[in-house]
Amino acid sequence: MTNQPARGRVVLRDISSRAWEHPADRGALVALRKLKGFDTVLKAVSGLFNERAVRLVFLGSAVRADERQFATLHRLLGEVAETLDAPDLPELPELYVAANPVPNAHTLGMNKPFIVLTSGLVDLLEEDELRFVLGHELGHAISGHAVYQTLLQRLLTLSGVFASIPIGGLGIRAIVAALHEWSRKAELSADRAGLLATQDPATAFRVHMKLASGGLLSDLDQTAFFAQGQEYLESGDLRDSVLKLLLIENQTHPFAVVRAAELRRWVDSGDYTALLGGAYPRRVDDATATVTDAARDAARSYSETFQQSQDAVGKLVHDAAGFLGSAKVWFDEQVRRARGTE
């Protein structure tokens, strides 16, 4: 990590987390909450999860960033919070640096989220790249992702818990699968928050390139990286498409080339520039945002993704959607039918 001169950034006053939340993230969370037994599992795992104990692990084994330790990281987190105008959190999440050569970062906690960066990540990234990562993690915290991320981690690590929860192992597996799907979409949301924090797309793309390679920037080329991503997204026939689905089935994060491509698509759409210009949803309007709106936005997002996809499965779904009158029409009909239960 090296120091770089600060530059002016737009402070996004009163911005709602809906501004950076990917439509598919919100839609997947809506679907997750509707799963039979989800509330039971959430309550059961919340009772088993000792948040104080987890925090004590990092308090005792890692280094907490403040004005005297990892002061640059502490400052960056404060600047990111200012840029994202993060008042909904009673206080900034605690930030820890843990000894681990593998570059990684995560946000933990169900009631009081805290952020952990590995030493490998801090060593790998430059200051503005770390700003992107901190914006990513703070975006998770503001959006309330930490609760569900923690739930997924506990479900994956608690052996024998399935038998003790009334809905049974099959229901748990459905919830874990839904959590994985939501988690991958939530990462796309957090990437957008990270970009809004640093306000430099090239920096955001570099982070994904470095995390994919673990290498120095001098060994990387952005054009080649995006070409590689395009090859992955378009490659192969139906067999490769099925393989790609199987490969990510149990992954909490999309692959790096996919994340970079999705972030560039958001930038190219004009939405990112519009947000910086002040065209974003405000927190004052959050109370009027409905589950129906989230489901409709998710349906639109999936439909557009299938239309643009060069992947064999994506083309197949798009063709089927066209035959039925488009996926969006079908989803909208389901939303209209669900209005009475909202």
Active site residues: 137
> CA separation (Å) from 245 to 13, 38, 311?
39, 24, 11
* Measured distance CA(273)–CA(276) in Å, rounded: 5
Backbone angles phi, psi at 63, to 5 degrees: -115, 125
CB 159 within 8 A of CB 204: no
Residue 273 near residue 196, CB atoms below 8 Å: no
Longest dimension (CA), the chain: 63
219/208 Cα distance (integer angstroms): 14
H-assigned helices in 64-215: 71-83, 119-124, 127-143, 145-157, 161-164, 168-198, 201-213
